[in-house]
Amino acid sequence: MTNPIPDSERTEIEAAAFRRLVKHLRDSPDVQNIDLMNLAGFCRNCLSKWYRAEAGERGLDISDPAAREEIYGMPYEEWKALHQAGPRQDHK
């Protein structure tokens, strides 16, 4: 049986895990959002929406572009220009 984690430490652990996930996604720009959505049911845009919603729950007004920049590590339009792949082509 494991010892329960105190709420204060649980929050810190969860926050650290979230930061690690965001860093991993920033370090893996070759992983396309559509692939994340198809495999995991969420993508970077989902994370930014969740981030914005949680900020709003705490009385903080964060714009959609600002929330996306928190997740992408740069403005979304810049990330798209650098990393977003175009439509896939089926090769026969």
- Boundaries of every domain in the chain: 44-81
Residue 4 has a pLDDT of 87
Is the CATH number of domain 44-81 1.20.1440.230? no
Q: Do 34 and 42 touch, CB atoms closer than 8 A? A: no
Residue 91 has pLDDT above 60, yes or no: no
**Which stretch of DSSP H or E encloses residue 48?**
helix 44-57
CA distance 49 to 38: 18
Q: Which of 13-27, 60-74, 75-89 has the lowest mean pLDDT?
A: 75-89
Q: For residues 11 and 29, give the distance between their C-alpha atoms in angstroms, rounded to a whole number.
A: 28
8 pLDDT tier (thresholds 50, 70, 90): confident
71 and 51 Cβ atoms separated by less than 8 Å? yes
pLDDT digits (tens, 9 = 90+) for 10-65: 999 999 999 999 999 999 999 999 999 999 999 999 999 999 999 999 999 999 99
Looking at residue 19, the DSSP 8-state letter turns out to be H
Q: How far apart are CA 62 and CA 81, in angstroms?
A: 23
